Structure 1
Amino acid sequence: MGGLDLDQGGHFGWYRALSKQERRTFWSCKIGYGLDGMDTQMLSFVIPTLIAIWGITTGEAGLIHTLTLLASAAGGWVAGILSDRIGRVLTLQLTVLWFAFFTFLCGLAQSYEQLLIARTLMGFGFGGEWTAGAVLIGEVIKAKDRGKAVGLVQSGWALGWGMTAILYSLMFSILAPEDAWRALFMLGLLPAIFVIIVRRLVKEPEIYKEARKHNQGAEKVNFYEIFAPGMLSITLRASLLTTGALGGYYAITSWLPTFLKAERGLTVLGTGGYLAMVILGSYVGYVISAFLTDLIGRKKNFILFAVGSFVVVLLYTNLPVSNTAMLWLGFPLGFFASGIFSGMGSFLTELFPTRIRGSGQGFCYNIGRAVAALFPMLIGILSQHVSLGVGIGSFAAVSYGVVILAALSLPETRGKQLEI
């Protein structure tokens, strides 16, 4: 990467200026997102196997996705409130332990109902991890570099997704399918080790400590402050923004492996190749968007990536293109659908004061997740009447339209100093 010259500044000069503690926080949050992505994406890889082995319907498969996402929304709200009350770092540790443990339990499920329960509980933890990590890294980085730093941290999700693809290929190459899917989920316990590292190396952000001192003796932090007259409009519009971005993303990622196998007739190896291109595009999208959100501003960046996602999803799912063309379209698909999230963490951080930042960020991101969580189930049901590609494309198109409208209505926050 030509621009990565830490000694002479350039695009990564901001990183060189970070303190030792800030760097530790940066890498801990990035690894945390990666592990979150790894455990979360396991289900989409094994759904075709569960359909074959257990005979579950696409509607039942969609229900697992939807309940997981609904639980993650609840987890994100709770984690946001907890991060304001007990701290960002401790909340991060608790959420990672939670999702690692319940991912492991998914591998022990003996029936569809048991898997549904374990996966739903896992969702509670992975939703909380996003909130705690986003608030933590957003408060540590200086205003002028916050967008790129938070975006680069969130790129860890694509690395985790890629790790799942590798582990999936490995497990299914050495084990029978009925054992391989269980082994994959059991590997989801590994992130628990990460908590030990966080506990030893990462401390609370200074602005959070200052806010705690400043508010000593004041009333306890009240979650409902985000609905106060001065904040209500921001809270509602930010929630619409996240609903659109997450709705589009879930419409694509929850059903993409099944779409490629069932409607494109690809083999497991072929599906892995397609997904590798999407994952590569996702990582590059996160990185490019991370820099653009500081360069052109939060709002323009959201609109740019929403338009790109809108166009590519429709091409990818509905045009009768060749397998080779489909492979190459996977890169821009991942690029736009994932890259749109790079600016989300910094933007939500900047919209709320420190006292209620966790509550505000947790609510806005996760109410979006709760509404968007309905999309996988609805697409699964719809696919019983129309093609899966049409279902994915239709829901994604509406979602990205909502992103554009919400972004136009919100204030620009690039370079904003955080309020105590």
Structure 2
Amino acid sequence: MTVEQTSSQPIEIAEVKDASLFAFYRAMNLQERRTFWACGAGWALDGMDFMIYPLVIGTIITIWEIDAASAGFAGTVTLLASAIGGWLGGYLSDRIGRVRMLQITILWFSFFSAVSAIVQSFDQLLVARALLGLGFGAEWAAGAVLMGETIRPQYRGRAVGCVQSGWAIGWGGAVLAQALLFSYLPAETAWRWMFAIGALPAFLVFYLRRFVSEPEVAQVTRAKQLTTGDQPALWEIFSRRILRTTILASLMTTGCQGGYFAIAFWVPQFLTKERELSVVGSTGYLAMLIAGSFVGYLVGAWLADRAGRRNLFLIFSLGAIAIVWLYTQLPLTNDILWLLGFPLGFFSTGYYAGVGAFLTELFPTRLRGSGQGFCYNFGRGIGALFPLLVGWLSSTASLANAIAIFAVAAYSLFFLAAFALPETRGRVLHPET
């Protein structure tokens, strides 16, 4: 254990003695493992639920005769709502507890995914996806803080990063469901069943209620706040002592999420529209993208503890810029494009493995839910504009060029903001008022 001195107070840093990827799991106690599997399953189902809409967007455009910009707007509305939900969800997790907030949010977005399956117009779908977004954003805020506070500091990067890999599993589940449903059902029915499957996360609440408990550091802090009456205000993350961190972290998450959304939301349409693949025929290309994403999460989780959070972000943002340009701008055969799907998935998502742990370590315990929830979901809210902007630009330029322009701009912002923030690897979290 080492101590670093800052301008305000010493920061305790835990030494990483075993840097192998799965060392964290071997060292976990029962409560840590239960929390790990609960959050991993929740994030996988979260990923599946979110990725359903980009996969059925082409069908919805055809059935309801809307343009690409309008279809992209529905994705943007979902993400904007998730930004609001994430900040409020993080704040409430500081007030009522991480586990309780996680249960509420899972039930919320599962219900509105089911509602999305029975809507009768695009306007109704827009409202249902917006309400789903509120719970979707709040779920990440509560779950990420829960994981960050439960896992020991020397393993936090790998454990939280491996939980993030659940997103790729959920994404893969959505693509598999698409391949099966669109093979055996007419498109007019298949997309509704896709949204119905998105209600599955509701069953996870039973596991949370029985097996997952509140982190000790959060319990102690909240008990002190109740005793003294000094509970955090919603706007405290903008106070002078923490404002710089809040701004830079928000810019960083804007870049990392804007780049991902520009790719993930429109690549399925790029494959079917500009590469002229069928919905089922594009499955293999998306599978390669998802495989790269999954491996990227695991490598990113390892690098987060081995090389540090900042180095992970810097390496992957540069890699993402390079591979996006290659994927969208070169006249490649479909076979080469299929192979490039792996590094595209690897670099465009693997950095997420370090984001949750990094944000957890940047903020003090009394503001952790609020700060982490705001910064991540501010980035999600601004990044939410990218599907809309890509769809808008694609009406006058090629979809490939639109994806490249906004993805490269986003990853450049990600690089610059991450470079300006401090390294937090191994930082020990303490209860405080």
Which TM-score bucket, shorter chain as reference? over 0.9
Which residue of 146, 158, 161 corresponds with 1:136?
146
Give deviations 1:231-284, integer Å, cap 9, x for gaps.
Answer: 000000000100000010000011111111000111222211100000111110
- Deviation of 1:9 (Å): 9.8
Partner of residue 205, structure 1: 215
Who is 1:79 aligned against?
89
Q: Which residue of 2 aligns with 1:380?
A: 391
Q: How does 1:164-175 map to 2 (within 5 A)?
A: 164-175=174-185
CA contact 1:9–1:16 (8 Å) conserved in 2: no
Residue aligning to 2:294: 283
- The answer as to whether partners of 1:34 and 1:161 remain within 8 angstroms in 2 is yes
Match of 2:123 in 1: 113
Q: Which amino acid aligns with 1:370?
A: G
Structure 1 residues 320-367: Cα deviation after superposition (integer angstroms, max 9, x where no partner)? 100000001000111111101110000000000111100000010011
2:285 corresponds in structure 1 to 274
2:98 counterpart letter in structure 1? R
**Are the structure 2 counterparts of residues 282 and 146 from structure 1 closer, same or farther at C-alpha, using a change threshold of 3 Å?**
same
Letter in 2 for 1:202: V
Aligned-residue identity in percent: 53
State the distance in 1 between where 2:21 and 2:287 align: 27
- For the residue of structure 2 that corresponds to 1:223, the secondary structure is coil
Q: Distance in 2 between the 1:176 and 1:10 partners?
A: 47
CA-to-aligned-CA distance 1:364-419 (integer Å, 9 cap, x gap) = 00111111111111111110000011000000111111111111110110111113
1:390 corresponds to which residue? 401
Q: 2:77 aligns to what?
A: 67
Does the 8 Å contact 2:182/2:280 carry over to 1? no
**Ranges of 4+ aligned residues in structure 1 off by more than 6 Å:** none
Tell me the SS of whatever aligns to 1:342.
helix
Q: 1:158 aligns with which of 129, 147, 168?
A: 168
TM-score w.r.t. the length of structure 1 is: 0.97
Partner Cα separation in structure 1 for residue 343 and residue 172 of structure 2 = 16
CA distance in 1, matches of 2:347, 2:110: 28
Q: State the one-letter code of the partner of 2:152.
A: K
Contact 2:21–2:301 (CA under 8 A) maintained in structure 1: no
Equivalence for 2:199? 189
Distance 1:403 1:286 in 2: 17
Name which of 360, 368, 373 aligns with 2:379. 368
- Partner of residue 220, structure 1: 231
| Equivalent-residue separation in structure 2 for 1:197 and 1:122 (angstroms) | 22
Tell me whether 1:28 sits opposite 2:38 in the alignment.
Answer: yes
State the secondary structure of the residue aligned to 2:352: coil
Give distance in 2, aligned partners of 1:46 and 1:368: 25
How far did residue 23 of structure 1 move?
0.4
Cα distance in 1 for partners of 2:135, 2:265 equals 18
Q: Give me the whole-angstrom Cα distance separating, in 2, the residues matched to 1:288 and 1:391.
A: 29
1:202, 1:408 → 2: CA distance? 36
More off after superposition, 48-57 vs 297-306: 48-57
Q: Distance in 2 between matches of 1:9 and 1:243?
A: 30
In structure 2, do the counterparts of structure 1 residues 397 and 11 end up closer, same or farther at CA, with 3 Å as the change threshold?
A: closer
Equivalent of 1:94 in 98, 104, 125? 104
Q: Residue in 1 aligned with 2:304? A: 293
Root mean square deviation of aligned Cα: 1.2
Query: AA paired with 2:28?
Result: L
Q: Given that residues 154 and 305 in structure 2 are in contact (C-alpha distance below 8 angstroms), is that contact kept between their aligned partners in structure 1?
A: yes
- SS of equivalent to 2:281: helix
More displaced 10-residue stretch of structure 1: 166-175 or 276-285: 166-175
Give the match for residue 329 of structure 1.
340
Q: How many residues align?
A: 413
Alignment partners' CA distance in 1, 2:28 and 2:316: 29
Structure 1: which amino acid aligns with 2:62? A
User: What is residue 12 of structure 2 aligned with on the other side?
Assistant: none
